[in-house]
Amino acid sequence: MTAEHELPDASGDRLVHSATALLISNATGAALGVAFWAVAARLYKPEDVGDGVAAISAMVLLASLAQLNLSIIFPRYLHAAGAKAPRMLAFGYAASSVAAIAASLIFINFTGYHEFLSHGRWQTVAFVAAVVLWVIFSIEDAALVGLRATFWVPVENTSFSAAKIVLLPIFAALATSSGVFYSWVLPVIACVVPINYYLFRRALPRHVRWAEGRASFPSRRIVSTVLLGEYAGSVAYIALATIPALLVAGQLGTTQAAYFQPPWLVGTSFDFLLFSIATSLVAESSARPGHAAEGVRRAVKMAVVLLLPGMVALVLLAPYLLGVLGADYAHAGTRLLQLLALTLPFLAVNVLYVTLARLARRVRRIVAVQVVTAAIVLGVSAELLSTHGITAVGIGFLVGQAAVAVVVLPSVVRQYRRADMAPDFSEDAELVAPSSAAADAAVEGAPEPGPAEGEATSRPLALGRAPQRREEPTGPTNETPEGGAR
């Protein structure tokens, strides 16, 4: 029996469980997100909705930059950190929170895209606090995935999405022009507190007990490659997701930004569904490398089942979906939503390419794809906004994703058809690159680094390898803390 079979949660289909939880989270979030903007469109003036769109987009942009790529690091390495996982998570929280404060202050003092903060000093303070909260809100999801506790991700995000809709009429009754922004932000507090209580008081102690003092941090080479190298690609992806709304608000005004947000949210929700599957694949493949090739094929099948019906439905039903918000929203956004739907097959190819490269730790490929895609999309969108309105973003998104997909498709097909899924097709290649210091040293031909001065020597808890134990494991299982099956 291999070590992978000794994992406490290896008996169930963790990829399907994890991906399903994230899919439910993103699907309900997208549906309730559309409902949020539909209610906002009915209760607030278009310019107030546009101010909310700009403020929320800026908040998400800054928070995403301040995450320091931890949304990628935690799903892959937090499980392997074993006994050191609490320290890893706490350090990530602290570093990203400091980065969030710095990024917010730079944005407020040195850019001209913060007219939505013109209502006084307290709103500026609230904006900075919101960026910090959003960083933690995002990182805790990555921590739940990394600790294989994805059951709580849809619970948390569905609660958040429902609560912000409830707050909209309350702030509208108070005649608060910033009600859209505050309705979005305040529920984050209610989510951050209980989730982090669960992480630090339940999930992490249980994981530490299971690890029995063992831990395996990535080597310095891996940290510099993944954390720093891939950060450039993540910045490009973040810019692609958030800057279009700021471009629309800056060039076309807040009313057009209000018309832009609903179709953009609906269209890109399928992007998040794809990345949900990819994130689960990375987490499970890192914990169980021997099942990575099988996981890739199952993930592709899940994506096809979701994408094809979704693309057809969005193209045909776009005017009716947006008509719920009002005739003006449907008239302005229908073509944009249809173009975003047509982008989905090309996006799926690019996501698969990036995921395979991420598993093999081929960072330059990831950075190249994400930077080139963002440059094309944002460049075409900015060039066409004055003549095509918000539809320009749909054109840019389709052109950028399609151009990159055409280039990477041959590589994706070759690797997918290869039985061992080897990234460079050599006899000894592995789909999942080794991540422990010892494995990395072996790959590089370097001696294994010893413990730092004053540090106790401990056996590494390698990815995909559980500690050797005779008694029943006490770590994460296929059951919720209450004992119910996930």
Q: Nearest-CA neighbor of 354 among 365, 344, 346?
A: 365
Across the range 377-383, mean pLDDT stands at: 93
Angle between helices 344-359 and 363-388 (to 10 degrees): 160
Whole-model pTM: value is: 0.62
Angle between helices 327-342 and 344-359 (to 10 degrees): 50
Does residue 264 form part of some domain? yes
Does residue 289 form part of some domain? yes
Does residue 141 form part of some domain? yes
Does residue 437 form part of some domain? no
pLDDT for 120 equals 61
Does residue 453 form part of some domain? no
Domain that holds residue 228: 10-417
Quote the CA–CA distance of 380 and 246 in Å, as a whole number. 15
Query: pLDDT tens digit string along 458-473?
Result: 333 333 333 333 333 3
Percent share of the chain, pLDDT over 70: 71
Helices (H) and strands (E) in the chain, counts: 17, 0
Quote the CA–CA distance of 281 and 357 in Å, as a whole number. 12
- For residue 174, name the pLDDT band (cuts at 50, 70, 90): confident
- For residue 480, name the pLDDT band (cuts at 50, 70, 90): very low
Structural domain tally of the chain? 1
Residue 307: pLDDT over 60: yes
Query: pLDDT tens digit string along 385-421?
Result: 989 999 999 999 999 999 999 999 998 888 777 655 5
Residue 264 near residue 336, CB atoms below 8 Å: yes
Q: What is the largest CA-CA distance in the chain?
A: 69
Terminal CA-to-CA distance of the chain, rounded, Å?
A: 26
Does residue 341 form part of some domain? yes
CB environment 150-175: b (16+ within 10 A), e (fewer): bbbbbbbbbbbbebbbebbeebbeee
Does residue 295 form part of some domain? yes
| Joined tokens for residue 233 | 């690609």
* Structure-token match 């810019």, residue found: 239
Residue 237: pLDDT over 70: yes
pLDDT for 79 equals 76
Which segment, 121-125, 363-367, 449-453, is predicted with the most confidence on average?
Answer: 363-367
Weakest mean pLDDT among 134-148, 352-366, 395-409, 430-444: 430-444
Task: At 69, give phi and psi (nearest 5°).
Answer: 70, 20
316-320's contacts with Cβ under 8 Å and 24+ in sequence apart are 318/263
Which segment, 205-219, 318-332, 400-414, is predicted with the most confidence on average?
Answer: 400-414
Weakest mean pLDDT among 128-132, 203-207, 360-364, 397-401: 360-364
Q: Number of C-alpha atoms within 13 angstroms, CB side, residue 148?
A: 30
- For residue 15, name the pLDDT band (cuts at 50, 70, 90): low
Does residue 445 form part of some domain? no
